[in-house]
Amino acid sequence: MKLWEYTAKDGRSITVRGATVDDAKYLHAGFRNVVEEHMWLPTFTPNSHVSDWANWISRTRHTREVLLIALVDTEYAGHLSLQPEEWHASQHVAKLGIIVMKEHRSNGIGRSLMLSGERAALEKDYSKIILSTFDDNEVAKGLYVSLGYRVVGIRKNHFNMPKGLIDELLMEKELSE
């Protein structure tokens, strides 16, 4: 199994690797926790089950989908997904999703996942990554821009969140070897 090693800002070890079925409970719990913050994802109830995550992880073994998990020392800290665009003519494009646990934010986990995700994307023959974030998520926007992602559009008032109407920021990056 491919893995990438990084050092967190606090000096601890970060390991990013492909998720295994045994990781499903961590990915599920991470998703649930971030959804329950009602701040960063445009959904209000985490209606998936651990078995859904296990099935998704299993599916990645036979598709171009990617699910990576980040561990700080041996503790789950977050995960990243890459999924191919639906159209035949855009199969070189991966849609990125990322979760970082609240207690691990601002420690290099997101950057480690993003860098590993880009490497995994190239291995799966993607040449472009697209993502979106809430326009008021300054930390995420700063990370993405620092990694070379560029804004390609804004969907005004796209999400009606508990904190009010939020614009969706669309970003992309062309990958190179």
Listed as ranges, residues in the chain with pLDDT below 70 are 1, 177
From 3.90.330.10, 3.40.50.720, 3.90.1010.10, 3.40.630.30, which CATH number describes the 3-126 domain?
3.40.630.30
Give the tens place of pLDDT for each residue, 87-136: 999 999 999 999 999 999 999 999 999 999 999 999 999 999 999 999 99
Mean pLDDT, rounded, of the chain: 94
**Beta-bridge mates of residue 7:** 13
Q: Where are the domains of the chain?
A: 3-126
Per-position b or e across 82-117, b if 16+ CB within 10 A of its CB: bbbeeeeeeeebbbbebbbbeebeebbbbbbbbebb
pTM greater than the 0.85 cutoff: yes
What is the structure's pLDDT at 1?
A: 62
Alpha carbons 59 and 133: distance in angstroms, whole number:
26
User: Which residue type does 25 have?
Assistant: K
